[in-house]
Structure 1
Amino acid sequence: MGARPSMGRVGSCYDNAVAESFFATLKTEIGTRVWATRDQARQAVFAYLAYYNHDRLHSTLNYRTPHETRISYRQGLALAA
């Protein structure tokens, strides 16, 4: 599958902190309900991901969306090149 194993030390609390934080937020905001079909669950998760990346403001990103942050970063790289 091309997955790389974790590069952190065993038991390091920082190793998966970002992923753990995201999944905690996902569970809080989308809920832990049971969907009738796998397709309905996938649709709900992908709808949430679209919201998370394009509409939800993040305090750690100076109250911008991840999409806005990514675009401004790429523009900065293009100007530097």
Structure 2
Amino acid sequence: MGAIGSSADNALAETFNATFKRETFQGRKSWSSEREARLDAFRWLHRYNTQRRHSHLGHRSPLAYETALRTTSTTLAQAV
């Protein structure tokens, strides 16, 4: 996190918002209701947090990363 007023100050939030807008609004001009818009946002957030592959996690989804982490931790604990 950068200092106040620097370009790195909000970089993470801006990247997240840009990804959300690009992947949610792509090819869409409007929703038929506020409920439909909220559901689309919820679906995207659910996919982003559970299924979408992240480069920081070795191009694995958060669920796959956590499963591998739990398996590795259990294996190491048993070996000791």
Same fold (TM over 0.5): yes
1:21-36 pair list within 5 angstroms: 21-31=15-25, 33-36=29-32
Q: Rg: which structure is higher? A: 2
> Aligned Cα RMSD in Å?
2.4
How many pairs align?
A: 70
Give the C-alpha shift of residue 72 in structure 1.
Answer: 6.4
Q: Once structures 1 and 2 are overlaid, which stretch shifts more, 63-72 or 50-59?
A: 63-72
Give % identity: 39
Residues 70 and 33 of structure 1: is their aligned pair in 2 closer, same or farther, counting only changes over 3 Å?
farther
What stretches of structure 2 of length at least 5 have no aligned partner?
Answer: none
Deviations 1:23-62 (Å, cap 9, x if unpaired)? 1111111116321222111100000011111111011221
Structure with the bigger percentage of helix: 2
Greater CA drift, 58-67 or 14-23: 58-67
